[in-house]
Structure 1
Amino acid sequence: MLAYLVVSALITAPFSGVTVDNLLDRPMMVSDSVLELSAAEVSERASATLTELDGRPVAETQQDFELNMELELPAGRCLITVEAQATSVSNDSYWVSINGERLESPILPSIGIMSPRSTTADIPEAGRHTLTLSLREGPGSFISSVSVATVKTDIPHPPMRAELLQSRPRLLFTAADIEAMRARVADPRVQRFYTPASVRSTKPPAFQPGQRNGAAYRTLGNFALSHLLAPDEQQLASVLEWLEMAATFDTVGVDLDAAYFMEGLALTYDWLYDEIPSELRDRLREVMVRQCDLLYKASLAGATGGGRNFQQNHYWYAHLALALGAVALYGEEPAAEQWLAWAWDRYERIALSFSPDGSFHEGPSYWDFSMPTLYLYTDLYEWCTGLRIPDGDQGLAGQAQFRFHHLYPGLERSAALEDSPVTLGQPAPGLLLWEAKRFRDPATMGMAQLLASSPRSDRHSFLWLDESVPWEPVSEAVPLARYYVDVETAFARTSWDQDATYVAFVSRPLGGHRYAELCARYGIGGTGHNHPAQNHFVLFGRGAVLAGDPGYTYEKKTRNHNTVLVDGQGQYGDGERWPGPNPGRAHITRFATDGDVTIVTGDATSAYPPELGLTRFERTLVLAGRDLVVIYDQLAAAQPRTFSWLLQHWGQVSTEEERWSIVCEDARLTVAPLLPDGVVGLTGTHRPQYTHPTRDLTPENADVNELQLQVGPVMETVFLVPLMVADATASPDSAQDVSTDTCYAVRVGDVVVGFNRGEGMMTVPLPWGEEMDTEAVTVVARIVDGERHVVTAPSE
């Protein structure tokens, strides 16, 4: 079995000094205790019952819970900390009030694990004050302790390099760089990717209370950069018109909208600083100060987008917004120093908890959405501080290739894994340029070259381009198959040709191993865009999706995927809108690849709740060349269960002699189960839940066809299912069961795929009439163009 990654405590963040061993600590916050209440004292003062939880005393909140604390406090900031555990989303928040005035951000205890959660409050003047902790939702949460402390900010390092303090621009470049930047625009290598934007013709929208207002501003920096590179009075006039409207805005929340707004506003404010009238700058500064103050206070309370969930894209967006505003305002607003220091502190938590193998757990669509934010945040951190990110390059290197492996043959569409729409296409070339530049990687540059069909006018395509990086063809530089150990995802294709056959396979803990362990350790979350779909695969061949994934849904269901149900029930998180961390530790146990043959095995036993009694679910997927995929499942349970083997598709299905033919576009998939005996095939159509109270993601092909192969109730069984890929007009091949006493084996044409029944020697019949004795667990033997080929997956 391949060993998966565990959390390393060897890396110390250079700005904050934290490690993964104290990831929730706040060393910047120096506190002096004012009050500490035990669980017994809480239950004496408020409506709570003293009881025990996991061997420790706790106060269980009752319906009228309200804890009042009268304290002598100095003027300044105080920290209110509650060590608590919620049981569900129905009791996972408390209100805090100061002298009867409720704070905007609640305290949000973690669900299922006891951990401290805090918020801060500004005390305007010294004296006696009443602090009140009350229920925001229902009773039933458990409190271990409550404390109040005065707090001051101790900034460990200058958050801005001295040479940037008086510089305008200062965000990502300075005035000294502009002449060289303008010269680059004429370079044909740059023109391959970038062209300055035309004058913006759209008018700025007015602020609408209660609505999302920031999104329209996200691209404003593209036009500001274009003016800086190719000065144009009309472009400047348009940008200033947008800034005039921005100066009328109220705050835009503490989540995505704040990042959209600040991304456009802060970059433009800084880049065109000397060309913005001083009176307008003053008004814009007031808007950004209000926004940053709101973000900062919400972050201290863990109430920004993403909460304290370091690997959730909303967390990245909210704190990038704070960093952008603070850098733009530094030296003009006194509070900007602590805002910026806090933004760097938050960034380091992202870097320390990031997947270390060049992968990303939220799927390809959220990769496209999130990586621009992470890359910009990374650039700002290093540019402003002069520090190198902690432990980050290990995970940032290879991100582009991870995303590229999601592209189906033809490189137009992407596999809709996790929360990704089925219509998802290519990533923007500018995102690949960031990695090519940072690591001077010819392979990544080759991917960007291949996807850059025409130049773009976004700032990424210019600022993240290093035209001096050489490039290599994808067919030579990028492997056909790749396994990502942390997020336990494997990709394989038979070639880089358009008519290749492609598979992707997933078997993992939600969030990947590193983040799953941190979630369990600290009671954090952020896995809501992951699906309960372990041992799931997708298959693409002959230009069509043959075994698919319905993608982004608002009810994540195991039955929407190509895996197995147990008595009709799915895996941890089944049916949830945003699945949270869980004890499941599915993982890939074996990966072997050679040319157009790939063998991958996953163990998803632990992905199912224990009440289902599942004791084994190991799946081996074999890509045995362009025309054949074989699925081999070993299933067992403590009691007799009905096992349902699932395949989702958008084709027309027909049945003949216990095999099913699925025609989709110009392709045919023949499903010919050889085992188990007595399997019952069911076909039908269902529509996943694509609608949300505020959004409707229903795609054009919303109705998904399903083939179910059922057996049981039984205590154990084996599925041996060859999937034969062919042109729609071709006659399907036949599949033969050529199993022996020691192996399960299937033959299709000149290909034999064998699986070891036990742990010792197996005898595999070969397509050229001989037998092979081997201790391997899987064997693929083929005759290709008259040549004999054997690929094995060893037992260890």
Structure 2
Amino acid sequence: MKKRYLIYCTVLLMAVATSVSAQLNHLKEDTKMPEHPRILLLQGEEKAILKNIAADQNWAKIHQVIINESDALLNQPTLERIQIGRRLLDKSRECLRRVFYLSYAYRTTNNKKYLARAEQELLKVAEFSDWNPSHFLDVAEMTMGVAIGYDWLYHDLPQSSKDIIREAILKKGIEPSLESKNNYWLKNSNNWNQVCNAGMSYGAMAIFEDNPTLATQIIDRAISTIKIPMGDYKPEGAYPEGYSYWGYGTSFNVMFLSAIQKVLNSDFGLSEAPGFLKTAGYFQNMIGTSGKNFNYADAGNGASLSPAMFWFASHNKDNSLLYIEKNYLKEGPKSMERNRLLPAAMIWGKDLSLDNASAPKQLQWVGQGKNPVAMMRTSWTDPNAIYLGFKAGSPSVSHGHMDIGSFVMDANGERWSMDFGMQEYESLESKGIKLWGMTQNSERWQIFRYNNLAHSTLSFDKELQRVDGYAVIEQWSSKPNFLNATSDMSAIYKGKAKSATRGVAIVDKKYVAIKDEIISADAPTTVRWAMLTPAEVKIEENGTATLSQNGKKLQLKVVEPANASIKTWSTEPPHEYDAANPGTTLVGFEVAIPANAKSNLTVLLIPEGTKTITIKSIPALKEWNK
């Protein structure tokens, strides 16, 4: 019975592969590949990395982090197939990290202890019953890790081990991606497409000579379908899913491009997709002067070295893209060893000098697309500089929040206006919350951190923003003394406001202005202006409040309306399933607006220690860029 089943599976696989091979769009049926190792780093290319390590202490630091962590892995138990909820993803990611690090350590030192430890890990995950194809990211990352190990260690692994590992790549990695129930991501316009196509292609490249027809099909399929999410970078490179998912989707996209360029001598024009090479500017400008990122949507607020930035710096021939990466190295490893793609930085940066990574010249970055954003700052080199990030777009974008009009603001090394970012998915899914619905009445929007009532933006009558609405960045200016951007958010508040436009600006390089111009709908409404802050709030007289944190202060001053009464709202979670939000406060005010009436709201955020402030009247938004 078992033999008959194996024959059936083999015949089925050959039929699928044969039918698809006739439909190749980019590759030829007789496509060839270099000998092993072929993925990312050919035999002998380690020499350039070692030369860079010897010449540049920055590269030596990254290299040593990988070696030290590889040593730490030697005596750890191998991974076990322990699934958490619907995910095996943490094990897949750890497999990728371990195998990539150990394989790199072996190729750069020739010390067989790293080879032996990597072989143990590869054989253990190859024994898993499966790599969890129902959540295919798990399969993709596991396949990438195993493929790198198989390819990089190919000539030194015993044949018996190679047979087991190759079979696992085929049966637990690639073959499940041929089933429609598992490969829905091929049509997705998000990080799943990028990660899964990259993982499957790595598997195909690793076992190419044993399965050339199938491998060619998989790579050709990836070249065709990864174009879908790459279309979301246009026109300027703003990544719709935000900082954290840029670090995921874009990094794996680059892993794919780099690998196919190496083995096929072409990326088939993919890197020239509109906005893609520009997206490095987006990612760099997402880091504020506090060191935190602009963590809108499902993002955390941490920031650390990104290997993908070395690929972009090389392709754009722009070392200034590594300015922040160089600063991370100056600060120390900073959990760098947890980055599973860290060895790729050594490959992509082998011809770059971090000593030449000067500060960027532009102080403002604006990108349109599905989730338009504007970021601006008074300096790249002054640790006390002001930083302002402003978001438009739509809640309906993948991983989106009801955060249209929200802003983050840094000054004096602190974040004053913040964003909660994501809540850990399993904490919600395990309680039965339907997290991924994106319609107006979806349960997603009842999660406290996800709706507009917990963001630094407007709300009308405590109602939610409209998921079918969209706001563009209408105008902006990079004038040094009035960096600004505005967005018409009317569609986001449909039914409550005929018009709602927000402008944000850094005035005279000294303070921030937030201005809203509103025309109410056919019924009276109460609008709430709120800012989420980690600071302690002391309400003063005359429409002002003093915010304090870490011995520093900032003044919040309401200019319009003149009679505004500042108040605070608790961030205590309303539901049992919501994450706790200690040390945070919502500060702002409410204004009652009659039907069909105009109302302007203007708030200034003035950092402590600003010299000789002359508060200007903030003009109407239409006058901002004249």
TM-score by length of 1: 0.65
- Pick closer, same or farther for the CA change 1:433–1:227 going to 2, 3 Å: same
Alignment check: 8 A CA contact 1:445 1:471 kept: no
C-alpha contact 2:561 2:602 (8 A) present in aligned 1: no
1:187 aligns with 2:88: no
Q: Matches of 1:621 and 1:282 in 2, distance apart?
A: 60
Q: Which amino acid aligns with 1:648?
A: L
Amino acid paired to 1:489: V
Q: 1:155 aligns with which of 10, 24, 37?
A: 24
The equivalent of 1:539 in structure 2 is 409
2:600 matches 1:752:
no
Cα distance, 1:494–1:123 mapped onto 2, change above 3 Å: closer
> 2:116 & 2:456 partners in 1: Cα distance?
54
| Structure 1 counterpart of 2:267, one-letter code | R
Q: Please name the residue that 2:93 is paired with.
A: 215
C-alpha separation between the residues in 2 aligned to 1:690 and 1:499? 38
Shift of 1:357: 0.9
Following superposition, the deviation at residue 722 of structure 1 comes to 3.3
Give secondary structure in 2 for the equivalent of 1:370. helix
1:162 deviates by 4.8
Q: Which amino acid in structure 2 is aligned with residue 215 of structure 1?
A: R
1:252 aligns with 2:135: no
Q: Do structure 1's residue 559 and structure 2's residue 453 form an aligned pair?
A: yes
Which of 529, 534, 542 aligns to 1:650? It is 534
Shift of 1:178: 4.4
Identity %: 17
Could you report, residue by residue, the CA deviation over 1:42-64 in whole angstroms, capped at 9, with x for unpaired residues? xxxxxxxxxxxxxxxxxxxxxxx
Aligned-partner Cα distance in 2 for 1:367–1:395: 14
Residues in 2 aligned to 1:337 and 1:690: alpha-carbon distance in whole angstroms:
50
| CA distance 1:625–1:697, shift in 2 (3 Å) | farther
Q: Which amino acid aligns with 1:460?
A: A
Q: 1:317 corresponds to which residue?
A: 195
Rounded to whole Å, the distance in 2 between the matches of 1:751 and 1:474 is 34
Q: Which residue of 2 aligns with 1:400?
A: 280
Counterpart in the other structure of 2:162: 281
Matched residue of 2:559: which SS? coil
Cα distance in 2 for partners of 1:690, 1:327 equals: 48
Instruction: Choose between structure 1 and 2: higher strand proportion.
Output: 1
1:616 corresponds to 2:499: yes
Conservation of the 8 A alpha-carbon contact between 2:232 and 2:240: no
- Distance change (3 Å), C-alpha of 1:182 and 1:250: farther
The one-letter amino acid of 1:435's match is F
* Cα distance change of structure 1 residues 638 and 656 upon mapping to structure 2, 3 Å threshold: same
Q: Which residue of 2 aligns with 1:171?
A: 39
* Cross-structure match for 2:325: 448
Q: Distance in 2 between matches of 1:663 and 1:239?
A: 52
- 1:570 aligned onto 2:427: no
* Maintained 8 Å contact 1:403/1:427: no
What SS does structure 1 have at the residue aligned with 2:54? coil
CA 1:749–1:191 in structure 2 vs 1: closer, same or farther (change >3 Å)?
closer
**Aligned AA (1:291):** K
Relative distance call for 1:590 and 1:721 in structure 2 (3 A) is: same
> Which of 215, 221, 225 in structure 2 is aligned with 1:346?
225
Residues in 2 aligned to 1:482 and 1:352: alpha-carbon distance in whole angstroms: 20
Greater Cα offset, 257-266 or 246-255? 246-255
Query: What amino acid is aligned across from residue 505 of structure 1 in structure 2?
Result: F
The answer as to whether partners of 1:603 and 1:619 remain within 8 angstroms in 2 is yes
Gaps of 5+ in 2: 1-6, 424-443
- Partners of 2:310 and 2:145 lie apart in 1 by 21
Q: Which amino acid aligns with 1:326?
A: A
2:258 maps to what in 1? 379
Match of 1:359 in 2: 238
Q: Gaps (5+ residues) in structure 1?
A: 1-74, 78-120, 126-149, 512-526, 574-581, 734-747, 758-775, 779-792
Report 1:697-776 matches (<5 A): 698=580, 701=583, 703-727=584-608, 749-756=613-620
- What residue in structure 1 maps to residue 471 of structure 2? 586
Could you tell which deviates more after superposition, 490-499 or 393-402?
Answer: 393-402
User: How far has the Cα of 1:369 moved from its partner?
Assistant: 2.9
Q: Do residues 601 (structure 1) and 486 (structure 2) align?
A: yes
Of the two structures, which has the highest relative contact order with CA contacts closer than 8 Å and spacing of 6 or more? 2
Supply the distance in 1 between the matched residues of 2:104 and 2:556 (Cα, whole angstroms). Answer: 55
Query: How far apart are 1:777 and its partner, in Å?
Result: 0.4
Partner of 1:777: 623
Aligned-pair CA distance for 1:428: 1.2
Deviation at 1:549, TM superposition (A): 1.4
Greater helix proportion: 2
CA-CA distance at 1:439 after TM superposition: 1.9
Superposed CA RMSD in Å reads 3.3
Task: Give the partner amino acid of 1:537.
Answer: F
CA distance in 2, matches of 1:470, 1:652: 39
User: Amino acid of the residue matched to residue 682 of structure 1?
Assistant: K
Q: Structure 1 pair 318/241, CA: closer, same or farther in 2 (3 Å)? A: same
In the alignment, the residues of structure 1 paired with residue 264 and residue 575 of structure 2 have an alpha-carbon distance, to the nearest angstrom, of 43
Q: Secondary structure at the match of 2:312?
A: helix
Q: Per the alignment, do residues 360 and 159 of structure 1 end up closer, same or farther by CA in structure 2, a change over 3 Å counting? A: farther
What is the identity, as a one-letter code, of the residue corresponding to 2:485? V
Please report the TM-score for the alignment, with normalisation by the length of structure 2.
0.82
In structure 2, relative to structure 1, the CA distance for the partners of 1:211 and 1:406 (3 Å cut) is: closer
SS at match of 1:438: helix
Distance (Å, rounded) in 2 between the aligned partners of 1:541 and 1:439 = 31
Contact 1:565 1:645 in 2 (8 A): yes
> Aligned partners of 2:620 and 2:294: how far apart in 1?
31
Cα distance in 2, alignment partners of residues 699 and 637 from structure 1: 32
Taking a change above 3 Å as real, the CA distance of residues 700 and 218 of structure 1, as seen in their structure-2 partners, is farther
Bigger Cα Rg:
1
- Partner-residue secondary structure (3-state), 1:598: strand
The structure-2 alpha-carbon separation of the partners of 1:469 and 1:655, relative to structure 1 and needing over 3 Å to count, comes to: closer
C-alpha separation between the residues in 2 aligned to 1:690 and 1:235? 48
Distance 1:123 1:280, change over 3 A: closer
Does the aligned pair in 2 maintain the 1:490–1:600 contact within 8 Å?
yes
Distance in 2 of aligned mates of 1:503 and 1:269: 46
Superposition map of 1:123-522 within 5 A:
153-158=22-27, 162=31, 164=33, 167-188=35-56, 190-191=59-60, 193-195=62-64, 196-197=66-67, 198-199=70-71, 200-201=73-74, 202-208=76-82, 212=88, 213-219=91-97, 220-254=99-133, 255-298=136-179, 300-301=180-181, 303-304=182-183, 306=185, 308-310=187-189, 312-333=190-211, 334-390=213-269, 392-393=271-272, 394-410=274-290, 412-421=291-300, 424-453=301-330, 454=332, 458-468=342-352, 472=356, 474-475=358-359, 477-486=360-369, 487-496=371-380, 497-509=382-394
* Contact 2:106-2:114 within 8 A present in 1 as well: yes
Letter in 2 for 1:296: S
Distance (Å, rounded) in 2 between the aligned partners of 1:691 and 1:291: 38
Q: State whether residues 489 and 506 of structure 1, in contact with CA within 8 Å, keep that contact through their aligned partners in structure 2.
A: yes
* Change over 3 Å in CA distance of 1:558–1:717 after alignment to 2: same
Q: Which aligned pairs between 1:667-682 and structure 2 lie closer than 5 A?
A: 667-676=552-561, 679-682=564-567
Segment of structure 1 superposing worse, 180-189 or 713-722: 180-189
Partner Cα separation in structure 2 for residue 465 and residue 319 of structure 1: 24
Give CA deviations for 1:305-334 in whole Å, capped at 9, x if unaligned.
746222x21222222221111111112135
